[in-house]
Structure 1
Amino acid sequence: MTFHFAAYRRQWFTGGTAARRDILAGIVVALALIPEAIGFSLISGVDPRVGLYASVAIAMTIALIGGRPGMISAATAAVAVVVGPLVREHGVEYLFAATILMGVIQIAAGLLRLDLVMQFVSRSVITGFVNALAILIFLAQLPQLIGVGWETYAMVAAGLAIIYGLPRITTAVPSPLVAILVLSAISLSAAPPVQMVGDMGKLPEGLPSLALPHVPLTLETLRILFPYALTMAAVGLLESLLTAQIVDDMTDSDSDKRVECAGQGGANIVAALFGGMGGCAMIGQSVINVTSGGRGRLSTFVAGAFLLFLLAVLGPYVGRVPMPALVAVMIMVSIGTFSWNSIPNLRRHPLPSSVVMLTTVIVVVATRDLSLGVLAGVLLSGIFFAGKVQRLFAVERSLSDDGARAIYWVSGEIFFASVDRFTRAFQVEERAPAVRIDVSAAHFWDISGVGALDKIVARLRREGRAVDVVGYNRASADLVDRFALHDKTGVEMGLAPH
């Protein structure tokens, strides 16, 4: 991982209006993080301060050492749902220890370049992931909209009107921030009967303190922690790398995924040392940041720092922020996150791509598990790809002028998915005394293909035919020389002699 100080400095000190946009965007994100962090703490079965302190520590740390400027990381539901059983059975100190181990695993993943796994995630899976998250973000707001008075609906509608209407007048200030401030002022002055942020859970007072987890340093402790830490690390990296790719697309820029993996690990270790739970990148808050003008590391740092300021200094006022204001912001996020082009593209895109996208959406929404949805989409993409490649295959037969030799011209990809068609192409009654199999237009990918060729050659020879195979490319020849049972190729360079 090469460090370029000049590039890193530019990611911080953008200057002028860009710095102002970063600061204002960070303030908006900080306000939006509060109910999320409290909710995720409740999912994990811990005190709200565990999620809030985690969001502060992770956001500020990842701003320093992450690989994707402008992306927001904090306590998340993806990690929260994993650690619930650990907290119930062993207590919160084991959660802190598991989070440290989670960070160590993520740093190791960065060093081992496991970020390259993202190369196997197709565009259809990413689109399905985005759409599923948009749906989940919207569904998460429904509890705030069911069984409430008309005042709640009125404030949500007013918030959306400000969010979408203000940019038509001015973009000097992020419209979500204006919506939160205006609705908070109404709430403080008129006291309408709506739910407040403080109703979600008690906000912490003061600053977090640095401490190591109080757990016994034994192999039994490691046995308990490792399965949770491994799952947390995998889920966190998956969501972070997918979110980084989405932010890359939104900002038309690139990011260092390897650095992001290690940065997520470092941020989680810091969070645990300050009494926080594990976390990862958040697509909702990242979209808020980007759409509010945040692009640099400063926006992420301000989100964490301002959240700390809110908790330590303005706690009573933050508790009076009306939830309808934040619901309006999150509805805006869900609308902006959803890939609306994917709906008409269902008819324009190839059927397998549409099936992969819909499968990813359905699995994520049904299970509330992002990793399961992405895994289902990746597996289905692989199956469709293998099916497509195995059809790019043909065998043609011709006879020499004297009829003494049958020549089979093989073209395409020979691997586990195409060996059945490859074998059936030779299941004909061969009367020519000699057979040549020309594979100069084919490629053998695995031992399944080599094994199929072995069976064909062995059968023809049992029937009394003289068989030779020619035209291996270098990679296929190496594979055949290592694993085939029939004649070796003798290839050292280029093609075998005809």
Structure 2
Amino acid sequence: AAALFLLSFILFAAPLIEQIPVAALVGVMFMVVIGTFAWTSLKIMHKIPMTDALVIVIVTCVTVYADLAMAVVVGVIISALAYAWNAASRIDARTGVSKEGWKVYRLSGPLFFGSVTGFQDLFDINTDPDDVVVDFMDSRVVDHSGLEAIDALASKYVAAGKRLHLRHLSRDCQKLLEKAGNLIEVSVLEDPDYEVAVDYGDKFETPQKSS
């Protein structure tokens, strides 16, 4: 009903609307704002994540400064960037033991300046054996901060009389290590070669190798 009345006013009753004083319209808009503003959001600002609170404040300011459509676009962009950052900064590791008796940390997630702190908290240097392997099968080093984090971790293991090894580095990660020069004081393990068995009926042959 409100939409139909508004449409009729715009199409047919525009001269009548022009007779309404602007001061009266301002009063009406004040009542609309008071009625539509989510006052409960002020009570939960300290309970919700900081990112959500920041989005609420920014969207409100953009709405006042520009318009609601622009505020919605800005809010969506900020929320998407915040989600991408939180997803990218998460790094985890599964632990295991290799056939040599070395402890293996298999990383999951990118190693960059946003995940350096989480990366350092994954390792238990005091209880780890003399040889520790960091497996990058599901991870990659993105920037120089990641290299510095590896170097700092290696220094801690060296101080404890232990050795740190890297495995399954991608080609771009290896290039970063080469450019780093003497920064990284760890050994890079070569990926093992696995023989591919082919069934030829009553016997198996290994015609080729793959890495």
Question: Could you say which TM-score interval applies, normalised by the shorter chain?
Answer: 0.5 to 0.7
Amino acid at match of 1:386: W
Question: Matched residue of 2:126: which SS?
Answer: coil
Q: Does 1:452 align with 2:146?
A: no
Q: Give the letter aligned to residue 5 of structure 2.
A: G
After superposition, the C-alpha distances for 1:144-177 in whole angstroms (9 at most, x for unaligned) are xxxxxxxxxxxxxxxx97x63275xxxxxx7514
Corresponding residue for 1:413?
Answer: 110
TM-fit CA distance, 1:418: 1.8
Match in the other structure for 1:134 = none
Task: Give the distance between the partners of 1:436 and 1:183, measured in 2 at CA.
Answer: 76
> After superposition, what is the alpha-carbon deviation per residue over 1:182-213, rounded to whole angstroms, capped at 9, x for unaligned?
445xx5xxxxxx54xxxxxxxxxxxxxxxxxx
Aligned residues of 1:458 and 1:486 also touching (Cα < 8 A): no
Written as runs of structure 1 = structure 2, the 5 A alignment for 1:32-71 is: none
- 1:479 and 2:176 aligned: yes
In the alignment, residue 56 of structure 2 is paired with which amino acid? L
One-letter identity of the residue aligned with 1:415: F
Indicate if the aligned counterparts of 1:472 and 1:496 stay in contact, CA closer than 8 A.
no
Structure 2 counterpart of 1:461, one-letter code: V
Q: Give the aligned partner of residue 181 of structure 1.
A: 15
Q: Name the CA distance, whole Å, in 1 between partners of 2:11 and 2:117.
A: 62
5 Å-filtered alignment, 1:75-474, equals 164-165=4-5, 175-183=9-17, 187=19, 195=21, 323=22, 327=25, 354-364=52-62, 368-369=64-65, 382=81, 385-391=84-90, 393-403=91-101, 405-430=102-127, 432-474=129-171
Say yes or no: does 1:497 pair with 2:191.
Answer: yes
- CA gap 1:430/1:465 in 2 versus in 1, 3 angstroms: same
Letter paired with 1:396 = R
- Asked if the contact 2:151–2:185 (Cα under 8 Å) also holds between the matched residues in 1, the reply is no
Contact 2:111 2:146 in 1 (8 A): yes
Give me the whole-angstrom Cα distance separating, in 1, the residues matched to 2:187 and 2:99. 26
SS of residue paired to 2:14: helix
- Give secondary structure in 2 for the equivalent of 1:443: coil
Q: CA 1:454–1:166 in structure 2 vs 1: closer, same or farther (change >3 Å)?
A: closer
Give the residue type in structure 2 aligned to 1:486. Answer: I
Residues 356 and 179 from structure 1, CA distance in 2 versus in 1: closer, same or farther, beyond 3 angstroms? farther
Give TM-score scaled by structure 2 length: 0.57
SS of 1:456's equivalent in the other structure is helix
Structure with the largest fraction of strand = 2
Deviation at 1:462, TM superposition (A): 3.9
List alignment gaps of at least 5 residues for structure 2: 193-211
- Hey, what does 1:11 align to over in structure 2? none
Kept in 1, the 8 Å contact 2:163–2:186? The answer is: no
Q: Secondary structure at the match of 1:428?
A: coil
Structure 2 CA distance for partners of 1:402 and 1:354, relative to 1, 3 Å? closer
Q: For 1:378 and 1:489, how far apart are their aligned partners in 2?
A: 42
Look up the equivalent residue of 2:103 and give its one-letter code.
A
Looking at secondary structure, tell me which structure has more helix per residue: 1
Shift of 1:181: 3.3
- Name stretches of at least 5 consecutive residues in structure 1 with no aligned partner: 1-159, 168-173, 188-193, 196-322
Distance 1:359 1:444, change over 3 A: farther
Listed one character per residue, the Cα deviations across residues 214-244 of structure 1 (whole Å, up to 9, x for unaligned) are xxxxxxxxxxxxxxxxxxxxxxxxxxxxxxx
Counterparts of 2:190 and 2:131 in 1: how far apart (Å)? 18
SS of equivalent residue, structure 2 residue 176 = helix
Q: Structure 1 residues 360 and 381 mapped into 2: Cα distance closer, same or farther (>3 Å)?
A: farther
Aligned length: 173
Structure 2 SS opposite 1:454 = helix
Q: In structure 2, how many angstroms separate the alpha carbons of the residues matched to 1:473 and 1:165?
A: 64
Quick one: distance in 1 between partners of 2:98 and 2:139?
Answer: 21
Q: CA deviation at 1:353?
A: 7.2
The percentage of counterpart residues that share the same residue type is: 18
C-alpha contact 2:154 2:186 (8 A) present in aligned 1: no
Question: Distance in 1 between the 2:173 and 2:166 partners?
Answer: 12
